[in-house]
Chain A
């Protein structure tokens, strides 16, 4: 079992919404960094970080682009934190049909934060002089077999829902495509 263990560097961007001044410098530098050629253009609508802001309700939430999802959530909850009401979406990283966030403005293709690969630190963190965004790195042990386990759990539940035959058919069809 011990053989399956390895360490992985986990980067965590710590977001302090109380320190955010709403200036959107993070959006600016993010969109510039991801332009091709690098920095050649700038357009916050292409940014992989967004500040969801509503100044009159004192809401400032920097949120990073995560996974793409084909479907929006069925119900969307509301959170009240320190007396301020937030949509659940305010904290969601998904590029999702329910909103415009995290999609290329021309093509609609989803965007995803890559932590500015190759840079010392994500540039949004570097450009956030008010320290609403800071970075923390830590080593974590991960087990290889976990992924396999996850896959099997997932398949089992799909099989329960759709029946094994349908799953087999689908796998066969998908593998033909390659």
Chain B
């Protein structure tokens, strides 16, 4: 018997309408765990770098994490992987909600979509009965609307639906896949779904998920719940409120937005408004949120209430979470009510809430600076908010200027030319980032921005405090119950870290310490993404209930795989390296690993080189960021080494990086 996982994937060829239930190899689970890990293995094996994102050969994989569907609190993530049209690298956006556990209960660990359907369809998975159904009547419908219509026509109120809106159908490069209260947004995976002509994947399951050593597993779950309660009543002192508790940032709960509105940038990630927050704004925004928020809500099997149901007069109800609360507001220099209103439309269209507002603000900046002309915006209203609604509609329909903007700021700037590139300034690897511009280089964040292959800072940071604490006493207090550290040395790193003087940034933490810290933070995210654990209870907040010391026990007692910290560390390193291998084969190199040029005012080129050199070395990559033959063999990834040599990415004799066959591709 397989434990925690079902042992089956659903393979769907949309071109031929063929559906197969395929048993998976339990050895792959031991090596790559599940979720992201096994997704990466499948992409490596089956999608060579010559495959275009919008081609039948590209795969779109919906992977449930290894522990999804077990009683492990907060373990509910679907990891969606494909080759992104925006970055032309591997995308592995994730969503919480209820979909992944439902898929497990239906008897599958993954749904693997290939080919391209000749007409718009949706996939209906009801335990062992799986069918491809016509979706002509759903064309152009909103993602949430679609989910409700499908549940009604199937008479299945308990089915879980992952759907695209108009943005996905029209292959907008930052289209999301929406699932009610959650979405997989980054990297344009919704566009790949649209290219495959599949409007939704619908699932209902009523089967069991088994545990290898049930009593032990439940004991661990109860410990996690107890620790969550402890952390609820003991927020971390000395850090800003959103970093003090567990969960995703509690954006739906809090009213005080002084920190975000005065520290993050407005418009096209340009303007800092240091005195924005005042009593009047607070009063108005508090009223807006109180009036529109009907309930704080959670994902499957999780007590954290990171989301909310939002009902605004005259608009359909929708669900929201996290920072999308402010992205449209700040992109448009508007107020919270506008932000919540336009987000309702954007959610139905199925758009990434980070990219969309920046793309629109970018377009207006180009207009103001004469790079785009008035003629390009014919029919656009005069008022500020009206312009954003107008642009949103053009983008998702790919009409006029919207057809160019729909490719995101990087590709749009390339196409527009005439200096537009300078306005696509907030990207890493061609994808729009959080609107942050700071003064002094932070060496830890430098490494994370450069090398994070999820290409999103919130998906690599978390375990180590963002800044030094002012006094030794406070630091000593912090490390007292810091049980999550993989090694005691991290406590010392933190104890000696000062706000000013010799032991302060950018030269402290030292290069080697930075490498350790980044490696640890990244590792926790990669473990979460294989297990399906929400980062909000694990890799994202300080002092989370899940960590490197209890995870091996969860895996052993849950999945029946013999696991300890060393083995888990190695497994995470293995599939993390495999993700990099997929991207290296697609042409990614050191030259691509740079933060937005204007992210920090004060840069330290020499230090930055040293940081990357040391970090690559520690990871087992050569100076160009390519995993070395030696490190690949050590991880059991000989097949990657072989392919690299075959393709001339590595040479037979060693690590000197040869000209990549696919250079220029990414």
Contacts and interface: CB of A to CB of B under 8 A. Distances in A.
B214 A39 contact: yes
B301 A28 contact: yes
B228 A42 contact: no
Contact of B298 (A22, A28, A105): A22
A157 B515 CA distance: 82
B300 A23 contact: yes
B486 to A, nearest CB: 28
B208 A35 contact: yes
B297 interface: yes
- Do most interface residues of chain B lie in helix, strand or loop, or is the interface mixed? loop
Interface string B313-335: 00011010000000000000000
B208 A23 contact: no
Contacts of A54: 157
Interface string B120-131: 000000000000
A44 B71 contact: no
Contacts of B296: 21
A72 B204 CA distance: 25
B492 interface: no
A10 to B, nearest CB: 27
Contact of B207 (A24, A25, A58, A105): A105
A25 B222 CA distance: 12
Interface centre among A23, A58, A127, A129 (most CB of B within 10 A): A23
Contact of B71 (A21, A37, A42): A42
A45 interface: yes
B529 to A, nearest CB: 21
A120 to B, nearest CB: 12
B152 to A, nearest CB: 12
A35 B211 CA distance: 11
Contacts of A127: 225
A129 B206 contact: no
B317 A130 contact: no
Interface residues of B, number: 40
Interface string A45-56: 110000000111
Contacts of A105: 206-207
Contact of A23 (B71, B229, B301, B317): B301
Contacts of A69: none
B634 interface: no
A85 B181 CA distance: 22
B215 A25 contact: no
Interface in B280-314: 294-303, 305, 309
Size bracket of the A interface: 20 to 34
A10 B210 CA distance: 34
Contacts of A60: 295
A41 B300 contact: no
B70 interface: yes
A21 B298 contact: yes
Contacts of A128: 303
Interface in A136-159: none
Contacts of A175: none
B207 A42 contact: no
B209 interface: yes
Contact of A56 (B70, B207, B228, B317): B317
B550 to A, nearest CB: 17
Contact of A40 (B206, B214, B301): B214
A42 B69 CA distance: 7
Contacts of B302: 23, 25
B160 to A, nearest CB: 12
A41 B301 contact: no
B210 to A, nearest CB: 5
B13 interface: no
B441 interface: no
Given A42-B70, A43-B208, 15 more contacts: A23-B300, A35-B214, A39-B218, A40-B211, A41-B211, A42-B71, A42-B208, A42-B209, A43-B206, A43-B209, A45-B206, A55-B297, A60-B295, A127-B225, A129-B229
Among all A-B residue pairs, the 8 with the closest Cβ atoms: A39-B214, A45-B206, A129-B303, A41-B208, A105-B206, A23-B298, A21-B298, A43-B208
Interface of A: 21-25, 28-29, 32, 35, 37-46, 54-58, 60, 105, 127-130
